[in-house]
Structure 1
Amino acid sequence: MYKIVVASHGPLAGAMKESLKFFFSNDIDVTTISIDERGLVAFQAEMDHVFQQIGTHDVLIFTDLLYGTPFNEAAKRAATLEQDFEIIAGVSMPLLVEAVNYQRQIKKLTEITPYLLEIGKPSSFKEKMMENVNTENE
């Protein structure tokens, strides 16, 4: 089973984990880490601790921004891992809900990553409406 880490600027990661309780029980195996007013050094120390806790488990890391501090610090540490890992920038609730759902089904990280990347794409209401109209016309 893979571990899930959500890393963000400010309280986003913690708020997303809290929101997962609307979809799952309180027993959610997601670790959150945020860079805040404590600064970079404190964040780096916390990130080191998170990676120690991961141990030999595969790990799926979500960050808020591509090449932001949480992404960069996760990438530095993940590059040293021997087990499977993935870092996905642009965390969203659909991604997180699906990742937790698959985690509970004991799916392999390599198996679910392509699917997560597909559902992580933004959706437009108008685009979906046009798809429905086109499908009905066929």
Structure 2
Amino acid sequence: MEKILLLTHGGWGEGLLRSIEMILGKIDFVKEIALRPQDLLNEFQEKVDTYVEEERKAALLAREPLHITIFTDLYGGTPTNVAAVKANASPEGIDVITGLNSALLLEACTQIQIKHTLDIASLLENSSHSIFDVMAKIYGTEETHA
């Protein structure tokens, strides 16, 4: 059972997910837990713990192994720190990837839809090419456009 959990500041992961669904259709294996300004650290941690526990129970009921990939928006931020602590303390497979963007989420969802599994190494390799200077790529110029 492959699951993706988005941990983001302010909830922009939900909008990102809706955008990806415009391309791929309904996605039921991705959930976002947003860190809101009013959230206390322990409340945010409890939301993550509850999600993981619910998925653990669902996997046991389905008699399937559970693998969760947590995508976060910013290295060093609270969502990433909470994810790292949770992954380190969990017996099941939890990976944590930071630098969430649309290309990364699109690649991950596509892999799961087609292969029913997520290959982290190829995910990182493929999505690492998604950030570039468009004008330089199209027109072959190194010129900076302001």
Fold conserved between structures, TM > 0.5: yes
Q: Tell me the secondary structure at the aligned position of residue 86 of structure 1.
A: strand
Letter in 2 for 1:51: V
Distance 2:115 2:123 in 1: 15
Match of 2:120 among 100, 109, 113: 113
- The structural deviation recorded for 1:77 is 0.8
Corresponding position of 1:136: none
Q: Tell me the secondary structure at the aligned position of residue 137 of structure 2.
A: helix
Matched, 1:3 2:10: no
Q: % of aligned pairs identical?
A: 27
Give a deviation string over 1:52-108, Cα, whole Å, max 9, x none: 123151111100001210010011111122333321101011110111111112343
Contact 1:51–1:77 at 8 Å: present in 2 too? no
Aligned residues: 130
- The structural deviation recorded for 1:19 is 1.4
Point out where structure 2 has 5 or more consecutive residues left out of the alignment.
57-64, 142-146
Q: Tell me the secondary structure at the aligned position of residue 88 of structure 1.
A: strand
Q: Tell me the secondary structure at the aligned position of residue 45 of structure 1.
A: helix
Match of 2:100 among 88, 91, 110: 91
- The structural deviation recorded for 1:127 is 4.5
Q: Tell me the secondary structure at the aligned position of residue 21 of structure 1.
A: helix
TM-score (norm 2): 0.78
Distance 2:21 2:114 in 1: 17
Corresponding position of 1:72: 81
Contact 1:4–1:61 at 8 Å: present in 2 too? yes
TM-score (norm 1): 0.82
Q: Structure 1 116/27 Cα, relative in aligned 2: closer, same or farther at 3 Å? A: closer
Distance 2:34 2:110 in 1: 23
Describe how 1:1-138 pairs up with structure 2 within 5 A: 1-39=1-39, 40-55=41-56, 56-109=65-118, 112-121=119-128, 122-129=131-138
Q: Tell me the secondary structure at the aligned position of residue 23 of structure 1.
A: helix
Distance 1:27 1:62 in 2: 16
Point out where structure 1 has 5 or more consecutive residues left out of the alignment.
134-138
Aligned-CA RMSD value = 2.1
Distance 1:41 1:51 in 2: 15
Contact 2:45–2:82 at 8 Å: present in 1 too? yes
Distance 1:51 1:67 in 2: 21
